[in-house]
Structure 1
């Protein structure tokens, strides 16, 4: 007979990435986790982990055991909620990686989730590559910018983010860049920027474009436009809602990148992760979709 506590520890170990992290989450010592998983493998009669150059990963039998453990956990949670015994729910923790090109533009959406789910504590990390952060287990889930879903990850495509040229009303009123779009002074991304989407934007400029300044982050790019230093390509879902910004270049439908919410495909979702993915998908899809017609 398989012990549920052993399955629960196996689930925690896979989600955490290693025995030490699982022990910390479960508030037990590492040797106990290892002993329980050895016992589980003995009960099932098959190995649950295999080793590669990248570390340990669940075997086919391990993946099946994870599916069952995840289903059992959901049933146990549902039973506890149905009985409503008044017990205080244990606070969950979620490590979230957000694409650095989005700056703080999604913080209001994250705050809205935190308001409705005070039982979930978030650690929010800005990352040049959120997908890689998730693959390497530095984060549980990522808000990623990618043309297609990366390998070894699962999740949902929220929508396509697009860019267009913008300038501040005060900058245009001064006539600083002349009348034509090609005569504007543009804010460009510095050549050593580590952000792939910003490098993509910068590649659209011709060599002879007039340059007002170089920046290396989304927040600096938007701030430079707002402070009337010059014009720049900005996210339409952000800039179109800024009263002091004016779109000065038409939207190019061929220029855009998809926003995804992604997690590892070999790790069952726990309650915080599942709740976040459901909430943020609906929230951001509505927000981005409203701006898609731009």
Structure 2
């Protein structure tokens, strides 16, 4: 008889290819995890992984088991979603996944307002530039840069936002005013590490503008600090730029990218009170401050 907890461990190792990484994700010591998998293999009389110094790879039997284990995982998660929150209490943990700029510069500074309204909710904010799988419960609510095209998901456009070109006051004092796109081409630029971006909407934003990149980061916050330091020009989220940063919008009529934020929830969780409360809070704050975007 296969045990779901053993299958959960098996899936984590199969997906990460590493005992250390999957142990960290599951909160287990990697030696304990390896021992559990060895016991699973012994109980079913089949080797599930080939082990090497580079990590682990599923065997043919392991690949076959992945298909069954993922179907079981889907059913377990679906059952949890269906019955979760039926007591109506507005309390508990809610994980909100967002693009980095939205989470860092909009949600985090306003989290105290959510706490004041719902003190029994524990908000877990995950601001990162990657796509999450709501069906696998990687998050309860996701703010996405596009409308999802599959899955039992509810999606609504939250707001359109602008990305503009910025430079520090100090940098502009050194190089002089930038009045044309041609003049911009010779200036130092700050951008993303493109191969580390999981969201296609963030790629190639500056290809037509920049000729010389002097700093790259996968972090929006790091890019903003580098621009503020006077290192170079950068494309930044307009709503995230505060007056204390002493940043100047450059060529606003010529350089502007408009994107949209979408709020996405799994249909089975949309009426869970604590999740509904967080979703409503985000929507209400965005509506109240729509002009800043």
The answer to whether TM tops 0.5 is: yes
User: Which secondary structure does the structure 1 equivalent of 2:139 belong to?
Assistant: coil
C-alpha separation in 2, matches of 1:54 and 1:232: 45
Residue 194 (1) aligns with residue 193 (2)? no
Q: Which runs of 5+ in 1 are unaligned?
A: 1-50, 78-88
The C-alpha deviation readout for 1:103-134, integer Å capped at 9, x for no partner, is 6112112332123211101122233334x332
C-alpha separation in 2, matches of 1:174 and 1:109: 36
- Alignment of structure 1 residues 97-176 onto 2, 5 Å: 97-102=97-102, 104-106=104-106, 107-130=108-131, 132-146=132-146, 148-152=147-151, 153-175=153-175
The C-alpha deviation readout for 1:64-114, integer Å capped at 9, x for no partner, is xx5xx79x94xx74xxxxxxxxxxx67322122122354611211233212
Q: Which stretch shifts more, 110-119 or 272-281?
A: 110-119
Alpha-carbon RMSD = 3.3
Q: Which runs of 5+ in 2 are unaligned?
A: 1-67
Deviation at residue 145 of structure 1 after TM alignment: 1.9
C-alpha separation in 2, matches of 1:105 and 1:127: 12
Q: 1:200 to 1:285 in 2, by over 3 A?
A: farther
- Alignment of structure 1 residues 7-18 onto 2, 5 Å: none
Deviation at residue 157 of structure 1 after TM alignment: 1.4
Deviation at residue 185 of structure 1 after TM alignment: 1.7
Q: 1:268 to 1:231 in 2, by over 3 A?
A: closer
Cα pair 1:101 1:218 within 8 Å, conserved: yes
Deviation at residue 283 of structure 1 after TM alignment: 0.2
Deviation at residue 248 of structure 1 after TM alignment: 0.4
C-alpha separation in 2, matches of 1:189 and 1:165: 14
TM-score by length of 2: 0.62
C-alpha separation in 1, matches of 2:256 and 2:245: 26
- Alignment of structure 1 residues 1-294 onto 2, 5 Å: 54-55=71-72, 73=86, 77=88, 91-102=91-102, 104-106=104-106, 107-130=108-131, 132-146=132-146, 148-152=147-151, 153-175=153-175, 180-196=183-199, 197-205=201-209, 209-239=211-241, 241=243, 244-250=246-252, 255-287=257-289, 289-292=290-293
User: Which secondary structure does the structure 2 equivalent of 1:276 belong to?
Assistant: helix
Deviation at residue 177 of structure 1 after TM alignment: 8.4
